[in-house]
Amino acid sequence: YKSIGLLNDSLRKVFKGTDFKDSDEILSRNSYKELENFFCKKVKDSGEYEIWFTASSIINSINKDKHLNDRYAKLLDWLKEKRRVKKFFNKSLFLKSDSREPENAGILGAFIGSLMTIIVCLALALPIGIMSGICLYEFMPKNRLMTNIVEISMNNLAAVPSIIFGVVGLALYLGIFGLPRSSPLVGGMTLSFMMLPNIIIATKNAFANVPIRIKDAAFALGAPHIKVILDHSLPIALPRIIHGTVLAIARILGESSPLLMIGMVAFIADTPTSFFDPATVLPVQIYIWSSSLEIAFIELAAIAIIALLLVLFALNLVVNFVKKKFEFSNF
């Protein structure tokens, strides 16, 4: 309470002689915390100090469009004349989690939640998908009824609407197993259903593109079937498997509807530290911000969309580089 009183007294001195009475509305609601941190870290002796605080979302919006409120626009012009306003890079957007105040909200918590969800998803879907794809192409008989049924089922499963997987996750993981709601563990396990058919299809197609002469040469030297798969076919097929896996990651990275079904739409102000903590992901965070009535949150949603697009662009660059490098090495 002392920091709040000290902050209000300082604001009254700044606006002394003006008709502006709502001086506390120009600063963020967390300004008193900034003042406490300043005193704890930098103040050692008594005296006068100068400190810059984060402006409220009202001031930030008026700074971009002065037609929103003439009264605050005049106040902002007066503050600029007195050199009481500075522009800073918004580090909170990348270093903090969600907040009730848009000037203090960030995407760090959602980004870590997305990362943890993808880790769980890959840990489940990648080994099962690769082994299933190898089994489907190498061991199951060709042009048989059962093989055709499995292939058709995989193709149909890859085209199922994502909301269906959310319903399955809600009923299975939350309803039957009682796993923690809104956790990266449940999110990753739910999205693994979506990733699995894509990895199976990518693995099968990758092994189908392995030159038959390489397998025939290995068999001619007396190598067993499992050795041919692990030592010859898999290294050649690996770039295409990586390519299909990253495309599957890019798809689930933009999914929100399955995660809405398992409760990852809640307001989460803390950064998750384990796979059992409540968390959200970037697409859901974008949905929450874009649904807000405050203009500042809608602007944050636009920035988060750009960040998500940059992540997807970086994933595509990495997969293309790896694919070309490994293909060149093998052939």
Question: How many other β-carbons are positioned within 10 Å of the β-carbon of residue 302?
Answer: 12
The Cα–Cα gap between 263 and 183 comes to: 8
User: Which pLDDT does position 328 carry in this prediction?
Assistant: 45
Structure tokens at 81: 């004349």
Express each pLDDT in 215-236 by its tens digit: 899 999 888 999 999 998 998 8
CATH code linked to domain 108-330 = 1.10.3720.10
Parse the chain into domains and list their residue ranges: 2-88, 108-330
What is the pLDDT confidence band of residue 4, given thresholds at 50, 70 and 90? low
Express each pLDDT in 154-184 by its tens digit: 888 888 888 999 999 999 999 999 999 889 9
Express each pLDDT in 42-57 by its tens digit: 666 666 777 777 877 7
The Cα–Cα gap between 13 and 179 comes to: 55
- Arithmetic mean of pLDDT over the chain: 84
3-state class (DSSP) for residue 27: strand
3-state class (DSSP) for residue 226: helix
The Cα–Cα gap between 65 and 314 comes to: 33
Higher pLDDT, 285 or 323: 285
Query: Average of pLDDT values for 305-326?
Result: 84
Question: How many other β-carbons are positioned within 10 Å of the β-carbon of residue 173?
Answer: 20
Nearest to 264 by CA among 39, 110, 33, 58: 110
User: Please, which residues bridge with residue 55 across strands?
Assistant: 27
Question: Buried b vs exposed e over 217-226: b needs ≥16 C-beta within 10 Å?
Answer: ebeeeebeee
Query: Average of pLDDT values for 97-123?
Result: 91
Model confidence, pTM: 0.83
> SS3 breakdown of the chain: % helix, strand, coil, rounded to 5?
70, 0, 30
3-state class (DSSP) for residue 55: strand
User: Which pLDDT does position 128 carry in this prediction?
Assistant: 94
What is the pLDDT confidence band of residue 99, given thresholds at 50, 70 and 90? confident
Query: Average of pLDDT values for 13-28?
Result: 67
**How many angstroms separate the Cα of 216 from the Cα of each of 134, 164, 212, 240, 311?**
17, 43, 6, 21, 41
The Cα–Cα gap between 176 and 169 comes to: 10
The residue whose two tokens read 């001195």 is 13
User: Please, which residues bridge with residue 27 across strands?
Assistant: 55
What is the pLDDT confidence band of residue 5, given thresholds at 50, 70 and 90? low
**Degrees (nearest 5) of the Cα angle 200, 201, 204?**
85
Structure tokens at 74: 């005049």
Express each pLDDT in 248-269 by its tens digit: 998 899 888 899 989 888 888 8
